A and B are shown apart, each in its own frame.
Chain A
Amino acid sequence: MNYLLKNIENPNSFDVREYEKAGGYRSLKKAVEMEPAAIIAEVKKSGLRGRGGAGFPTGMKWTFANADPKFPKYLICNADEGEPGTFKDRPILEKNPHLLIEGMVISGHALRAEYGYIYLRGEYPDARDILNRAIKQAYEKGYLGDNVMGKGLKFHLTVHLGAGAYICGEETALIESLEGKRGQPRIKPPFPVNVGAFSMPTIVNNVETFSNIPCIMEIGPEAYSKIGSPDCPGPKLYCISGHVEKPGVYELPMGTTLREIIYTHCGGIKGGKSLKAVIPGGISTPVLPPSNIDCPMDFVSMPKHGSMLGSGAVMVFDETVCLVKVCLRALKFFEHESCGKCTPCREGTGWLRSILSRIEDGKGEKEDIDTLLDVSGNIVGKTFCPLGDGAGSVVINFIKHFRPEFEEHIEKKGCKYKK
């Protein structure tokens, strides 16, 4: 049973009439009859955790925002989807936009927020047009506007287009960017739930998080909490790329093992080759060797298996891939996307990239591996935001699991995988 990707086989699934025909906006009808506090209580009870990467309990975030007496409050949907390997929000944005809109209107009612923004990455022009059309339809149908569902509730929604900066996915950088500034993270606390956009209490949630709200309303928090892992329930979108037979976005119960995802749903390794490594949750999450793929893919289990769920972006590498090169490409990314605010990340990512580059080119020195670990160790835990931690831990984990491959590059003065 699909909740998030329901009906997307229908070529007109993005249209409000098709969405209504498939049962859409019924949860909103239910929600507008409820007290805001009762909706928050249901979300809390459901056990929903944010799908943007950190897995923070949504009900708790909402409770904090609700407790702040300042108004107006703002609701922001994080549709920046910038973590390399991630394309899970895209089918919702392009094929099921009304699910997101419905989720946001319900959330707006629950949190007594009258203005919502969808911060959409600039690289998704199709989603921009589809969302804008869907929003227009929702206004026409009375799901948005000054009198939502004729109940006197106000909720307005605007798509705000980002402009190609990965760091703007981090919620405080996103808020800066929404306010028309350079997207550099803010110090926390204060947290956005107290001092967010335009200095007001602000709730930032991921596309997939908001899209779970109609489902919780529809089937009730008890039934919802029985889907997937007990301490981390619900349906989850996993997006798989790289060397599998059937890459794509799959809606599965939270906590499906990495092995089941790769071998059962994605048809195994492409061309019958063997598995060499997996990055399970987007480029910022620690790489895993094949021996670790029996881990349940949820926010609570993954750290026990040496990685993180992150955005649920699984990148699969077969035996032909040079992992030094993958690690190098990851660090080029971090160096490019470092916002420059703090020194360990701004300088450290460049150092790591240049050492990795030298190793890949066959000019590495024996001490380079230790230097990589030393520099990484001086980034992790010492940066302003998690981007820097991610960069350092990527290097540490590639070396931890695949050190012989780095050593071989240095000893043999080059990469044996190069064509």
Chain B
Amino acid sequence: MLSDKTIEEVEALKRRYPDPRGAILPSLYIAQREFGWLSPEAFEAVSIVLGVPKAHLRGVASFYAMYRHKPVGRHLIQLCTNVSCMIFGAEDLVSLLKNRYGAEVGGTSPDGRFSLVIMECIGACEAAPAMLVNEDFHNNLTENNITEILEKYK
């Protein structure tokens, strides 16, 4: 279940749209924040507050890459490997994350510290390669500075 405060947050969102279904995407984000991922409980909770069937919510959520369809590690690394990042070595960083932390693409390191997702351009191409760790941007990555940056995320 969602807390009263969170339910109030969703109710306020519903009022921003002429049809409460407009609030589906933002509500899924809220549920994800509260439950850590889109667990069956998360869908149940959103379904109740919005009055939308769970099957519909699942169908919607599965279309979008930024919803978490399984539990993730303590920190989510979203690394861009699209062209402008690729030509500055983004693929080497993918290998490094795997070798050093055991974080496979789409998976989580065995210690539960990092999950790794490959992104399609995060709008930081002028300072490539780039990644988001949780909600923080890190640019101009190299094989040296990426491990330093990740030190901050325990």
Interface residues of A, Cβ cutoff 8 Å to B: 72, 81-87, 90, 115, 121-126, 156, 158, 160-166, 177-183, 198, 239-243, 247-249, 279, 283, 313, 315, 317, 321, 325-326, 329-330, 333, 336-337, 339
Given A84-B82, A243-B87, A329-B86: A162 and B25 interface contact (C-beta under 8 Å): yes
Interface string of B4-34 (1 = CB under 8 A from A): 0000000000001111011111101100000
State the Cβ distance, B140 to closest chain A Cβ, in Å: 11
The 7 closest A-B pairs by CB, nearest first: A180-B24, A164-B65, A163-B64, A241-B125, A164-B66, A180-B21, A84-B121
B122 at the interface (CB under 8 A from A): yes
A85 near B83 with CB under 8 A, answer: yes
Chain B residue at minimal CB-CB distance from A200: B18
A179 near B63 with CB under 8 A, answer: no
A198 near B66 with CB under 8 A, answer: no
B135 at the interface (CB under 8 A from A): yes
**Chain A residues with CB below 8 A from B78, complex form:** 123
Interface residues of B, Cβ cutoff 8 Å to A: 16-19, 21-26, 28-29, 52, 59-60, 63-67, 78, 81-84, 86-87, 119-128, 132, 135, 137
A180 near B25 with CB under 8 A, answer: yes
State the Cβ distance, A392 to closest chain B Cβ, in Å: 18
State the Cβ distance, B128 to closest chain A Cβ, in Å: 6
The one of A126, A162, A165, A315 in contact with B83, judged by C-beta atoms closer than 8 angstroms, is A315
A329 near B82 with CB under 8 A, answer: yes
Given A160-B26, A164-B65: A333 and B82 interface contact (C-beta under 8 Å): yes
For this complex, 16 residue pairs linking A to B, each with C-beta atoms less than 8 Å apart, are A72-B18, A126-B135, A163-B25, A163-B67, A164-B66, A179-B22, A180-B23, A180-B25, A182-B59, A183-B63, A183-B64, A239-B125, A241-B84, A241-B125, A242-B83, A321-B87
Chain A residue at minimal CB-CB distance from B21: A180
The one of B25, B67, B87, B132 in contact with A123, judged by C-beta atoms closer than 8 angstroms, is B132
**Chain B residues with CB below 8 A from A321, complex form:** 87
> In the complex, A163 Cα to B16 Cα: how many Å?
18
B66 near A248 with CB under 8 A, answer: no
State the Cβ distance, B38 to closest chain A Cβ, in Å: 11
Given A162-B25, A178-B22, A329-B86: A87 and B65 interface contact (C-beta under 8 Å): no
